[in-house]
């Protein structure tokens, strides 16, 4: 489940062109083999997604919307059988890590 979440987030952050991955039908996991056209592909176990430098994902608003688009595209293509639990987890990760919207109040004119 965590791999699904990491994959979806990473895909929207890093993909600049065709991405290649393999899926094992037995264990229903997705294996990232290459994430960008200008990269010599690495074996999955050395994929950078395994070594995220920060402790947790930090999702910006622009990539959050891209991520949603990726999930929708993958699902409509019938490629990614996103489990409900994984989907809930991705939504929660995003909600927890998105910068909180701040209210801005107009300054009151100073009065003597």
Query: 34 to 73, contacts with other proteins by CB under 8 A?
Result: 38-43, 46, 48, 50-51, 53-54, 66, 69-70, 73
Residue 21 near residue 49, CB atoms below 8 Å: no
Looking at 77, 101, 103, 107, which residue binds other proteins (CB under 8 A)?
77
Smallest separation, CB 103 to other proteins (Å): 30
Looking at 29, 57, 68, 74, which residue binds other proteins (CB under 8 A)?
74
* Burial of 82: CB neighbours in 10 Å, binned 0-12, 13-18, 19+: middle
Distance CA 30, CA 23 (A): 5
Smallest separation, CB 46 to other proteins (Å): 6
Return the number of the residue (43 or 109) whose C-beta is nearest other proteins: 43
Q: Report DSSP state, residue 25.
A: T
Q: Residue 76 has which token pair?
A: 């409509």
Tell me the torsion sign for CA atoms 29, 45, 69, 78.
negative
Question: Taking CB under 8 A as the rule, does residue 18 contact other proteins?
Answer: yes
Residue 30 near residue 23, CB atoms below 8 Å: yes
- Binding residues (CB under 8 A) for other proteins: these are 12, 15, 17-23, 25, 33, 38-43, 46, 48, 50-51, 53-54, 66, 69-70, 73-74, 76-79
């Amino acid at each position: 489940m965590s791999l699904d979440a990491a994959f979806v987030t990473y895909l929207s952050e890093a993909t600049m062109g065709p991405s290649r991955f393999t899926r094992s039908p037995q264990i229903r996991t997705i294996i990232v083999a290459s994430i960008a056209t200008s990269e010599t592909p690495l074996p999955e176990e050395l994929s950078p997604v395994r070594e995220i430098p920060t402790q947790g994902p930090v999702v910006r608003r622009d990539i959050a919307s891209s991520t949603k688009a990726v999930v929708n595209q993958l699902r409509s293509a019938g490629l990614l059988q996103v489990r409900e639990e994984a989907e809930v987890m991705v939504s929660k990760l995003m909600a927890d890590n998105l910068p909180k919207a701040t209210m801005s109040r107009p300054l009151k004119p100073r009065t003597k």
